[in-house]
Structure 1
Amino acid sequence: MTQAFFCPNCKTNRTRFNLIEQVSKSVKVDPATGAIVETYEQHIKDPFHAPYRGPSHKVQCATCGVISDEELFIKAAQNYPRGEI
């Protein structure tokens, strides 16, 4: 996090954010009970199970609560430099 952030939703917050680390766990569940049947390790051999390709973390505005990708908060800061709003 070396870029400036700005909340694109409330357009007031530039300083208070929550960084949310995302850790995925690949599992196979029983369709009837929802119980975990199998846990996949790093190398998934099931051809019908795509590995997680999402972001490793997200950002939450600590003022209004909106959660989104870090890039959205960075772009908002670039589009609305300090002093413009």
Structure 2
Amino acid sequence: MSTPYLCPNCKTNRTRFNIIEQQAKSVKLDPQTGVIIEELEQSSLDPFHITYNGPHYKVQCGVCGLIENELSFIKRAQLKS
């Protein structure tokens, strides 16, 4: 995270960002009510439950509110360097 950012939407913000750390929780829901029946450990997932493999961080622009993958903000800053 020691890389410059530039918002790909407003294209002016280089300093105000919210770093959103994503922590996935695997659960089984009741199909009728949507209530969580069981929280699953990564080691005990059944064959039909895929583990989360998305980004660890998302970034929100503190000026326009855009939320994207961190790489979008990094790439935009590299283009404008």
Band of TM-score, shorter chain:
over 0.9
Aligned to 1:64: 64
SS of the residue aligned with 1:33?
coil
Residue correspondences, number: 81
Of 24-33 and 42-51, the range deviating more from structure 2 = 42-51
Task: Return structure 1 stretches of 4+ with deviation > 3 angstroms.
Answer: none
* 2:40 matched residue in structure 1: 40
C-alpha distance in 2, partners of 1:76/1:2?
15
Question: Whose helix fraction is larger, Structure 1's or Structure 2's?
Answer: 2
Secondary structure, aligned partner of 2:63: coil
TM-score, reference length from structure 2 = 0.95
* Unaligned 5+ runs, structure 2: none
What's the TM-score, normalizing by structure 1?
A: 0.91
- More strand by proportion, 1 or 2? 2
Q: CA RMSD for the aligned pairs?
A: 0.8
Identity over aligned residues, as a percent? 59
Q: How is 1:14-53 mapped onto 2 (pairs within 5 angstroms)?
A: 14-53=14-53
